[in-house]
Amino acid sequence: MEPMNRIPVHVSMIMDGNGRWAKERGKERIYGHFEGVESVRACVEAAVETGVKYLSIYAFSEENWNRPQAEVDGLMELMVKAMASEMEKLNSNGVRFMVIGNRERLAPSLNQVIDSCMDMTSSNDTLTLIVFLSYSGKWDILQAAKKLARKAAASEADLEEVMSMDINGFDPFLATAGIPDPDLIVRTSGESRLSNYLLWQGAYSELLFVDTLWPDFRKEEFKSALSEYAKRDRRYGKVK
């Protein structure tokens, strides 16, 4: 089978290396984040061209709130500008836009922009672009557990339902409910860890760690990642 004939349904990107990319050029870290937006655009185009149905990006983790305030403010401003400038094009190309994460920590103005963009593109089905913003895997599992606890406390019948639940029954309580688990998770910049990202959903994802810094990760690199994925033998614990 030709490598590009096996296309993953869901590709997820851990976008790492923006700061180092900027530092190598003697610029402030935020410059790398701005250039990283170009890589997001390139990956969206490549996903549409290759038939990937879900593309998700780890844009800002819960831990990232601990970064210097100036960088956090710059990133939030960049989010607003990127959504405002890209949304019409995404919409015209049939891309559905979603944001997942602990949005209670986001500014009301940013949440308004997010809601507007999500509403505008909600009926599109060529590609779903998911931005994980103020997200962590542990937060996701915890908020799902809290939902389950409230359900179990509602009545004896609900408690019995929760106690008899299997693994698949947990999925609807996650922030990613209705979204297929990622087939492939790619992390750029040479780091080899998940950094608290999609801990439940990535249990059987293929992992690919590349040395390329995120601002240099464009269409060619995205398609190379798909080719690498196509070579993997996914057994899910079974014997073939």
Q: pLDDT for 53-74, tens place per residue?
A: 999 999 999 999 999 999 999 9
pLDDT tens per residue across span 180-196: 999 999 999 999 999 99
User: Parallel, antiparallel, or unpaired: how do β-strands 127-135 and 206-209 relate?
Assistant: unpaired
- The set of residues, in sequence order, having a beta carbon less than 8 Å from that of 87 and lying 6+ positions away, is 97, 117, 120, 121
User: No. of H helices and E strands in the chain?
Assistant: 8, 6
User: Parallel, antiparallel, or unpaired: how do β-strands 127-135 and 184-187 relate?
Assistant: unpaired
pLDDT given at position 240: 63
Cα separation, 142 vs 110, whole angstroms: 24
pLDDT-based confidence at residue 217 (cuts at 50, 70, 90) = very high
The DSSP bridge partners found for residue 97 are 129
Global pTM reads: 0.93
Residue 1, pLDDT above cutoff 70 = no
pLDDT tens per residue across span 20-31: 999 999 999 999
Active site members: 16, 64
Backbone phi and psi for residue 117, each to the nearest 5 degrees, phi listed first = -70, -40
Q: Are 134 and 107 in contact (CB under 8 A)?
A: no
Cα separation, 138 vs 175, whole angstroms: 11
pLDDT given at position 233: 86
The DSSP bridge partners found for residue 129 are 55, 97
